[in-house]
Amino acid sequence: MKTNNFTYTSDIAFTPAVKALQKKYHSRKGYARMEQSGGWQTEVNEGLEQFLTTIDSFYLATSNSDGQPYIQHRGGPKGFLKKLNNRMLAFADYRGNKQYISAGNLNENNKSFIFLMDYPNRTRIKIWGSAKVEYDDKALIKSLSDSNYNAHPERAIIFTVEAWDVNCPQHITPRFTEEQVRQVTDPLKKRIKELEAKLGLTKDNQN
């Protein structure tokens, strides 16, 4: 499948220099089979859309006109990175420290990258594409915002997907949020209290 004049979708990352190293270190044949069997995804399918509903943070990579890279953490309510259509994602960009590095980079170079990590399930998804900053479409910005989230949306960032891939779980150490820990421990704490109360009544009856 061709996209942006690439022979394969993975060519967005597997440049000639990358393929030369893959050939040198004996991984090129395996990746060539992957390319010929269909390669990476180019559209936001049901699986990716469902995955996005569980994510409350991700990393956005941009670079300026000199090629200097920058990675910015983005956080919000679960599902704040939303699907607009099968090739586009978007999120409300909230007021922060007013450095505007990502927005400034995108004014010079629209190439961008999203890195998604699900630590409990040891899943990471990489999305290549381009992005633009939208300041004037208030209806869009409002639709991407969560009224219950205590932050002020200033703009929207719209990301066009060119290719995405799921990495293997190797070396990902599971980590859990406070909410996820509470979901497991709250029933246990409740049961402990019930047992302690029951034991207290039993001791009272023995006395």
Q: Which of 132, 119, 128, 133 is nearest to 54 (CA)?
A: 119
Q: Domain range for residue 20?
A: 1-40
Residues 105 and 10 in one domain: no
Residues 63 and 101 in one domain: yes
* Distance from C-alpha of 172 to C-alpha of 181, rounded to nearest angstrom: 18
Per the structure, the count of domains in the chain is 2
Across 95-141, the runs of DSSP E, i.e. the strands, are 111-118, 123-134
Beta bridge partners of 111: 130
Residues 125 and 164 in one domain: yes
Cβ neighbours for 204, distance < 8 A, ≥ 6 positions apart = none
pLDDT of residue 180: 83
- With b for 16 or more beta-carbon neighbours within 10 A and e for fewer, the 18-57 pattern comes to ebeebeeeeebeebbeebeeebbbbebeeebeebbeebee
CATH of the domain at 119: 2.30.110.10
State the Cα torsion 100-72-65-103 to the nearest 10°. -30
What average pLDDT is seen over the chain? 90
Q: Which two tokens stand for residue 158?
A: 């719209």
Q: What are phi and psi of 192, to 5 degrees?
A: -60, -45
Name the band, by pLDDT with cuts 50, 70 and 90, for residue 27.
very high
pLDDT of residue 196: 85
Cβ neighbours for 101, distance < 8 A, ≥ 6 positions apart = 62, 70, 72
Residues 163 and 133 in one domain: yes
Q: Which two tokens stand for residue 66?
A: 């000199």
pLDDT of residue 95: 80
3-state class (DSSP) for residue 145: coil
**Mind listing the pLDDT tens digit for each residue in 109-164?**
999 999 999 888 889 999 999 999 999 999 999 999 988 887 788 999 999 999 99
Side-by-side strand order, sheet with 69-75: 69-75, 57-63, 111-118, 123-134, 153-167, 88-94, 82-85
Residues 60 and 33 in one domain: no
* Distance from C-alpha of 207 to C-alpha of 204, rounded to nearest angstrom: 5
Predicted TM-score of the model (pTM) = 0.84
Residues 138 and 57 in one domain: yes
Residues 99 and 18 in one domain: no
Percent of the chain with pLDDT over 70: 95
pLDDT of residue 120: 84
